[in-house]
Amino acid sequence: MKQAGHASHQSRLNEDEIRSIIRQVPDFPKPGINFIDITTLLAHPQAFRLVVDEMTEVVRAMQPDVIAAIESRGFILAAPIALSLGVGFVPVRKVGKLPAETIRAEYDLEYGTSTVEMHKDAISPGQTVVVVDDLLATGGTAAATVQMAEQLGGRVAGVVCMVELTFLEGRSKLEGYRVETLVRY
């Protein structure tokens, strides 16, 4: 792992440097799963800043009016991006967590389905939306978020994630959309 001060002398980190800071936890949450744990990057202030800055520039190029962020680690990355760009932040949450009227989208899991929600008034027709999350795995939550944004009349400019698990082929659920990631496993 890098020394805390190392990244401060750089303007960006390359993929190998980011990967070296992110911890992998074998057999979590169940045997056979290699969990990509970004908390080690979040605890590294210089690396965290550089990753958020790099993601901000990718999102900026998509010219969003709002950023739709997926619970919960997506919030950590998307909030500073939205603030930096001066655009709105739209939380996408698990069912029952948002207080006002919502719309829902269901997506497939390895065994069964899950559902996410967004406030019905979160996106106005014609707004440009960028979806932000920490990790693109199967693409289910990102595709569900895209579906909800479009249902509300938004125009989805792209999906931006810090990490992509390429072997799970999540991009296939987002065909036709711009998908940008910083690190691939």
Strands 113-119, 102-108: pairing is antiparallel
Distances (CA, A) of 86 to 43, 80, 83, 120: 25, 10, 5, 22
Query: What was the pLDDT predicted at 112?
Result: 80
Q: Which two tokens stand for residue 10?
A: 């750089």
The model's pTM is: 0.92
pLDDT in tens, 72-90: 999 999 999 999 999 999 9
CATH node for 8-184: 3.40.50.2020
pLDDT in tens, 165-177: 999 999 999 999 9
Residues with active-site annotation: 73, 110
